[in-house]
């Protein structure tokens, strides 16, 4: 169990290095991907290109 905790701490530390906006976009993309079964990278790329994206008839606005 300790190895899992160390890995989680490592990932959190890496995430903190990213700007807040990037972390928010990643989080939104991740939760949307779970709901829509689309790739996270695809949703994230759309959100990085535009502040308003439609995914499966759902409008996502960042900003």
- Indicate whether 13 belongs to any domain: no
What digits encode the pLDDT tens for the residues 5-54? 888 888 888 888 888 888 888 888 899 899 889 999 998 898 888 878 88
Number of folded domains that form the chain? 1
What predicted TM-score, i.e. pTM, was given to this entire model? 0.65
Q: Residue 61 falls within a domain, yes or no? A: yes
Answer yes or no: is 37 within a domain.
yes
Domain containing residue 60:
20-63
d(CA 26, CA 34): 12
Answer whether 28's CB lies under 8 Å from 62's CB. Answer: yes
Residue 29: inside a domain, yes or no?
yes
2 falls within a domain: no
Token pair for 35: 């709901």
């Amino acid at each position: 169990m300790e190895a899992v905790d160390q890995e989680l701490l490592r990932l959190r530390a890496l995430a903190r290095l990213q700007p807040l906006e990037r972390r928010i976009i990643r989080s939104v993309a991740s939760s949307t991907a779970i709901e829509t079964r689309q790739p996270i990278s695809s949703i994230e790329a759309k959100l990085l290109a535009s502040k308003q994206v439609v995914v499966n008839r759902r409008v996502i606005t960042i900003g």
